[in-house]
Amino acid sequence: MTTFDDREQGFEKKFALDQEQEFRAGARRNRMLGEWAAGLMGLQGDRVAEYSRAVVKSDLELPGDEDVLRKVFEDLKGSGVQITEGDVRMKMAELLAQAREQVKAGQ
């Protein structure tokens, strides 16, 4: 095997690891977003975990984050929470940064 082949395999492994970490960070962000939204809606106990799981599942509907944003925003508005779509987007970005750090730290 040549040095080029070794280098190529190294890049492929790093890419796969980066993709896996990004997937885990996205799922973690969605769980935390669900917990945040559940708190705003006044959910408690098992209903918080149940809602968080529903938010994580909603990410499987379409590629990207729009399905998660739509679910959380509509649920918040439907519960009478005064919030803008921009507020939810900002919270998603904030939680994604936290989730990435947690995944990198192995938490």
Q: What is the mean pLDDT of residues 29-56?
A: 95
Query: What are the structure tokens assigned to 14, written together?
Result: 């790093």
Give per-residue pLDDT as tens, 58-97. 887 777 789 999 999 999 999 999 999 999 999 999 999 9
Q: Mean pLDDT, the chain, as a whole number?
A: 88
Q: Which long-range contacts (CB under 8 A, 24 or more apart) does 72-78 make?
A: 72/33, 72/34, 72/37, 75/37, 75/41, 75/51, 76/37, 76/40, 76/41
Mean pLDDT along residues 5-31:
79
pTM, whole model, 2 decimals? 0.82
pLDDT value at 2 more than 80? no
**Residue ranges covered by each domain of the chain:** 3-104
For residues 62 and 16, give the distance between their C-alpha atoms in angstroms, rounded to a whole number.
Answer: 22
At 9, the pLDDT band (50, 70, 90 cuts) reads confident
CATH assignment, 3-104:
1.10.790.20
Q: 54: burial class by Cβ within 10 Å (0-12, 13-18, 19+)?
A: middle
pLDDT at 65: 86
